[in-house]
Structure 1
Amino acid sequence: MSAPFDTTALSPLKENMKKAYDSVAPLYNEWTRSTHLIRIHYIKKLLEHLPASPDLLTILEAGCGAGDPITSLLGQATDPKTGQPRFKVIANDISTSQLEMAAARLSEFKDRVEFRGGDMMALSCADASLDAVVGMYSFIHLPREEQIVFLRRVYAWLKPGGWFLGNFSVQELESAFDERWLGCGVDGGVMFWSGWGAEKTCEILGEIGFEIVVQETVKDSEEDNGKSIEVPFIWVLGRKKN
């Protein structure tokens, strides 16, 4: 099962990030396993709020990586009463390598998962067409102004009463680059992060129109050059008002 990739030209910043994730994909997928329980915890919070429906609910996952664990969980989800599939997932990632691994992992569920490769800023969805949008450890890779633009698009894409789940940097960070992160610079890759900080991010979401239902700070334990460090993220579950 191949994963289609948007051929729209990437900016130098995004091209370098794509190279970075392509070059470290298997290592990254192992390195990030420490966050799986956190990811699953918050996706379950989202699922608690999604309505029962005879039709498939449509969820956009921006930054699906290799599909483990969230895309897999959503793709396999069934209605406990009927046993019928519950979701149609639109899975996006900028990394060709990650997307190919996700497509292979989820080949059994290809009728439920649609892959869209490329910059999430190039995504296009019809207004009021999505039941939920999820982004885990992905929005932090957008320049700060792009984060605002994308979140406004998400609000438009969501149906009235639709849900948004994502995490962001707790600290304000205009921009940070690292060509050594997990060895990603071997093929010219450079990793990038940015953030508005917890308070400003929630302010932005509120100004866009989201009702914030959950706002929590969680510290990840990460390995950095053989040392364990704690990195805080703010997790936000928001609802588009009717």
Structure 2
Amino acid sequence: MGTGDERDLVRRGYDALSYRYRSDDADDGQYGPWLAELDRLLPESAAVLDLGCGCGVPVARLLTRAGHTVTGADISEVQIRRARRLVPDATFVCADATELDFPLATFDAVVCFYALIHMPLTAQPDLIRRIAGWLRPGGWLVATVGDTAWTGREENWLGGPATMWWSQADASTYRMWLHQAELSVEAQERIPEGTSAHTLFWAQRPPAL
């Protein structure tokens, strides 16, 4: 299966199961404390990119309510339509994250929760490097990535009529990629999920001297 087919699986999966994955009125869940900490670290009226923004809940919703300017990007047209309705004060684009392009030093933070692991593994190091360039000096990348290496798919994902696909490296590899992108890893936390886990990274572009 080529990368185009894999990306299409992800797009069609979220198109089909958008509401099953997260309802309009979903609570902040585990994201709440992470976003509260990010808000504490950000300047007022910060510019934030939410990669893999889904329906805009809770990341874009919470950060816009905190007074920040949020741009969200997601590969699923259904998710983006919902995000524009649910978070009208943010800007949303339907796009493959690996093909996005922004000017250097555009954002104070990039948030990427459970999205990088839906992208082809070979594209992930380059995307991390480009994210580092999009960050302003002192800016933050907050991302959940793989804990152990795995690539695979699941039929009838979430009990629905769709297939989902993932591809992830292990946590030490992601840490290496962050360092190679000249981001400083300030925190790393293992996030258990059932019998497996993800890893949460807080990585910062060095502040200007």
TM-score normalised by the chain length of structure 2: 0.90
Q: Distance in 2 between matches of 1:150 and 1:28?
A: 25
1:231 deviation in Å?
A: 3.1
> What is the aligned counterpart of 2:36 among 31, 35, 44?
44
Deviations 1:120-170 (A, max 9, x none): 112111011111100001011011121111100000111111110000110
Q: Distance in 1 between matches of 2:10 and 2:191?
A: 25
The residue number in structure 2 matching 1:11 is: 4
Pairwise CA distance, 1:12:
2.0
Among candidates 53, 57, 66, match of residue 68 of structure 1: 57
The amino acid that maps onto 1:161 is G
Report if aligned partners of 2:105, 2:133 keep a CA contact under 8 Å in 1: yes
Residue 43 of structure 1, CA deviation: 1.5
Q: Which has the higher contact order (CA 8 A, sep 6+)?
A: 1
The structure with more radius of gyration: 1
Q: Is the 8 A contact 2:35 2:63 kept in 1?
A: no
**Structure 2 counterparts to residues 124-135 of structure 1, below 5 A:** 124-135=101-112
Paired residues for 1:54-203 under 5 Å: 56-77=45-66, 86-107=67-88, 109=89, 113-173=90-150, 175-184=151-160, 186=161, 189-203=162-176
The answer for the alignment partner of 1:80 in structure 2 is: none
Residue ranges of structure 1 left out of the alignment (5+ in a row): 1-9, 78-85, 221-228
The alignment-based identity, stated in percent, is 26
Aligned length: 203
TM-score (norm 1): 0.79
RMSD (Å) for aligned C-alpha atoms: 1.7
Q: Any unmatched runs of 5+ in structure 2?
A: none
Contact 1:169/1:197, CA 8 A, preserved across alignment = yes
Q: Is the 8 A contact 2:111 2:142 kept in 1?
A: yes
Distance (whole Å) between structure 1 residues aligned to residue 29 and residue 87 of structure 2: 20
